[in-house]
Amino acid sequence: MEAALTQILNGLSFIAIFSLIGVGLAILLGMMGVINLAHGEFVMLGAYGVWLSGFVFHNFWIGLILAVVMVALFSLLIERTLIRPLYKRPLDTILATWGLGIVLRELAQVVFGKSDRMVEAPIPGFASVLGINYSAYRLFVIAMAIIVLSGVVIFFLKTDYGLRARAIIFNKEMASALGVNTERVNQLMFGMGAGLAALAGGLISPIYVDSPYMGLQWVVGAFFVVVIGGVGSIWGPIGGGVVMGGSQGIVEFFMSPVVAQIIILLVAIVVVRLRPKGLFAQR
Amino acid sequence: MVGSLTWKSKWNIRLAVSVILAAMAGFPWVGGDYDVVLVSRVLCFAILALSLDLLWGYTGLLSFGHGAFFGIGAYSLGLTLKYLHFTGNAYVGVLVGTVGAVVIAVILGYFLFYGHVSGIYFGIITLALTTILFSIVNHPDAFYITGGQNGLYGTFLKPRYGIPGIWEYQRTLTSNLANYYTSMAGFIAAFVFCRYLVNSSFGKILRAIRNNEERLEYLGYNVANLKIVIFAVACGLAGFGGTLSVPIQFIGPTVFGLIFSTSAIIWVAVGGRGTLVGPAIGALVVTYVESWLSTQFSSLWVLFMGTFFILVIIFQPDGIMGLHRRAVGTRRLTAEAVNNSLLLSMVQDPKETGDVDSSLGNEKSQ
């Protein structure tokens, strides 16, 4: 029972991270038809941002905020220089961001070194949940993800900008004809997606080892989130995150990570076969 | 277009082909040992690049993990040579590698293409396949079979050739000359096969899939089946290239690595998508630049290649062949058409983009 509860909480923290990463990816795909293969590298930069500012400020929280802001600003620069010139050539955006991913990974190797880095958890110790002891920091991550994702959902469903973003997802030409500044909204969303990725990276930096290649495993996972959940609504990636994170949590409990990888790939393939638009797409 | 070529330009092409063939055949007698091995490797890589181009440049299906099938071929032959010592094991290994890649492609393709997996998801799932194969080969439990990080190089015995019971002989795999000519024969066969394929009516259908999949479906074609076929063909070809590379390069988990699959994309992009000569040139140029960069800057070359790749994508999407085409002045749809097809598959409402009929008339591969 205790082990099962622990595993449920582990699954929840997977869900939290996958949803944070997946949302940015799905927004971008849904709105701009742009696939950002460097999304995982934004995660990596977030983690390294936290690691780096640990030396400067000796404070995790300042590092986390700075990492998110810096990565978001950096992504705006990327949007300007890399995404926008290729806006009419979506496939080439994929390739260019793939190239960007390579460059960022290699640069991270040069700047931060090849070896794995560890960040100390800002909230040490354990908290007792329903009679079991569970890492307090992981609980915080779950709570944080819920708060942030709720914020994103409210932003999408209740604010003016969110309405415009949904309009673009629904029909870009029509939104543009009705006077929505699609470029501005796209840019904002790109920044937001990157910021969320960096937040996820910062949050996982004390949980996992941080390496220049860490973004890659997460981006493949996040793409499965998008595949499973589908784009087009804000609930897609969150639902996909629940399925992905949950199944990873369950499978890893019983089997080795390699088997977990295989099973998740198979699940994604079967889901794609049965529900091409994603499990949570509106019919 | 070939039909409209003048008598003179036809002979020019024949001359060029003969010169290239003669240069390829004569190269080992001129080049140094290092270069001969490198070019043999390039020839195997060029087969991979060709097969990726069939998928990506011609059909508009970009695979981020195409190296996986090269690796499947390589490991199939490598493991056959390591464990099965019957006469003719090399041939069987090549066959197993090629057919194995085809089988995996058909299974994967069935789920993906009948699920209408569009552009990027296809790429991501093939990418995931590669990373999973990487972890399997690298797994501690598989160490005694695959050699883990150490790979297969040098662990297999001399292959036995000939006809069982009638005429058998053993040879080592270390003769540079034999390896070179095997790769060369393999490459030429692959090239001729691809050329035949893209110029056949099936090749026209491939380009139609790329240019306007919906319309092809309206015309009554089963696009999913066609995609499975071309995916299987391309993967089989990649597997074949992988088997040929066994004697000349380190067969280890790196063939399932990200860098290798990315390299394949870079070869095709740099050479020119949607042409057959392009990927081969791309493989040659990039591999040479890479080997030079890696001696000059050790591991930094990946960074340079990444940057170079971005620049090519932004400024020269048609690659080297695009430069050539601009110089020669022939008009052809390649990268632009590939993009149109992806636009179609991504934007929800189908728009009028590539025109199948006109593009069929205009295009003719090299």
Task: Work out the pLDDT band at A161, boundaries 50, 70, 90.
Answer: confident
Q: In 3D, which of B204, B255, B230 has the Cα closest to residue B360?
A: B204
pLDDT for position B347: 44
Mean pLDDT of A264-270: 79
Token pair 């280890």 is at which residue? Answer: B252
pLDDT for position B44: 93
What CATH code is carried by the domain that includes residue B132? 1.10.3470
Asked if residue B350 has pLDDT above 80, the reply is: no
Q: In 3D, which of B188, B236, B208, B199 has the Cα closest to residue B51?
A: B236
Determine the structural domain holding residue B317 and report its residue range: 33-357
pLDDT for position B171: 66
Q: Which of A42-51, B155-164, B252-261, B322-331 has the highest mean pLDDT?
A: A42-51
Asked if residue A169 lies in contact with residue A34, where contact means CB atoms within 8 angstroms, the answer is no
State the nearest Cα–Cα gap between B89 and chain A, in angstroms.
31
Task: Work out the pLDDT band at B351, boundaries 50, 70, 90.
Answer: very low
**Interchain pair A270, B111: CB under 8 A:** yes
ipTM of the complex: 0.80
Asked if residue B161 has pLDDT above 80, the reply is: no
State the nearest Cα–Cα gap between A4 and chain B, in angstroms.
27
Q: Which of B342, B344, B351, B353 to mutate to test the interface with A (most CBs of A within 10 A)?
A: B342
Asked if residue B7 is part of any domain, the answer here is no
- How many domains would you assign to chain B? 1
B304 in the Ramachandran plot: left (φ > 0), alpha (ψ -120 to 50) or beta?
Answer: alpha
Give the Å distances, CA to CA, from B119 to A279, B56, B62, B316.
Answer: 19, 10, 7, 21
Compute the distance between CA of residue B199 and CA of residue B192 in angstroms, rounded to an integer.
Answer: 11
- Give contacts of B346 with chain A, Cβ < 8 Å: 29, 33, 90
Distance of CA A176 to the CA centre of its chain: 28
Q: Is A115 on the interface with B (CB under 8 A)?
A: no
pLDDT for position B356: 40
State the nearest Cα–Cα gap between A148 and chain B, in angstroms.
27
SS3 A126: strand
Compute the distance between CA of residue B67 and CA of residue B107 in angstroms, rounded to an integer.
Answer: 17
Q: Is B305 on the interface with A (CB under 8 A)?
A: yes
Task: Work out the pLDDT band at A227, boundaries 50, 70, 90.
Answer: confident
Instruction: Quickly list DSSP for A198-248.
Output: HHHHHHHTTTS-B-TTHHHHHHHHHHHHHHHH-SSSTHHHHHHHHHHHHHH
Q: Residue B169: what are its φ and ψ, rounded to 5°?
A: -155, 155
Mean pLDDT of A72-99: 84
| A205: Cβ contacts below 8 Å, ≥ 6 apart | A46, A47, A48, A50, A51, A119
- Chain A, 50 to 69: residues with Cβ < 8 Å from chain B are none
- Give contacts of A98 with chain B, Cβ < 8 Å: 64, 262, 265, 309
Asked if residue B45 lies in contact with residue B283, where contact means CB atoms within 8 angstroms, the answer is yes
Q: In 3D, which of B66, B22, B64 has the Cα closest to residue B241?
A: B66
- CB pairs A-B closer than 8 Å: 127
Q: In 3D, which of B144, B124, B282, B337 has the Cα closest to residue A217?
A: B124
CB atoms within 10 A of CB B53: 28
pLDDT in tens, B72-87: 999 998 888 888 777 7
Asked if residue B55 is part of any domain, the answer here is yes
pLDDT in tens, A39-52: 889 999 999 888 88
Of A90, A107, A268, the CB nearest to B343: A90
pLDDT in tens, B8-35: 777 888 888 888 888 888 888 887 888 8
Asked if residue B133 is part of any domain, the answer here is yes
Strands (E), B82-217: 160-163, 167-170
Asked if residue B346 is part of any domain, the answer here is yes
Q: Residue B170: what are its φ and ψ, rounded to 5°?
A: -115, 145
Q: Which of A93-107, A129-143, B190-204, B310-324 has the highest mean pLDDT?
A: B190-204
Task: Work out the pLDDT band at B365, boundaries 50, 70, 90.
Answer: very low
B164 in the Ramachandran plot: left (φ > 0), alpha (ψ -120 to 50) or beta?
Answer: beta
pLDDT for position B348: 38
**Interchain pair B306, A99: CB under 8 A:** yes
Q: Is B314 on the interface with A (CB under 8 A)?
A: yes
β-pair type (B160-163, B167-170): antiparallel
pLDDT for position B9: 76
Asked if residue A32 lies in contact with residue A156, where contact means CB atoms within 8 angstroms, the answer is no
**Interchain pair B300, A265: CB under 8 A:** no
Mean pLDDT of A122-149: 82
Does pTM top 0.90 for this prediction?
no
Give the Å distances, CA to CA, from B175 to B158, B178, B179, B182, B316.
Answer: 12, 5, 6, 11, 39
pLDDT for position B340: 57
What are the CB-based long-range contacts (under 8 Å, 24+) for A183-188? A183/A84, A185/A31, A185/A161, A186/A31, A186/A32, A186/A79, A187/A76, A187/A79, A187/A80, A188/A161
State the nearest Cα–Cα gap between B45 and chain A, in angstroms.
20
Q: Which residue has the higher pLDDT, A34 or A22?
A: A22
- Chain A, 118 to 147: residues with Cβ < 8 Å from chain B are none
Asked if residue B68 is part of any domain, the answer here is yes
- Chain B, 110 to 139: residues with Cβ < 8 Å from chain A are 111-112, 114-117, 119-121, 123-125, 127-129, 131-132, 135-136, 139
Q: Which of A79-93, A124-138, B30-44 has the highest mean pLDDT?
A: B30-44
- Chain B, 49 to 88: residues with Cβ < 8 Å from chain A are 62, 64
Asked if residue B20 is part of any domain, the answer here is no
Nearest-Cα residue of chain B relative to residue A260:
B132
Tell me, which fold does domain A2-274 have in CATH? ABC transporter involved in vitamin B12 uptake, BtuC (1.10.3470)
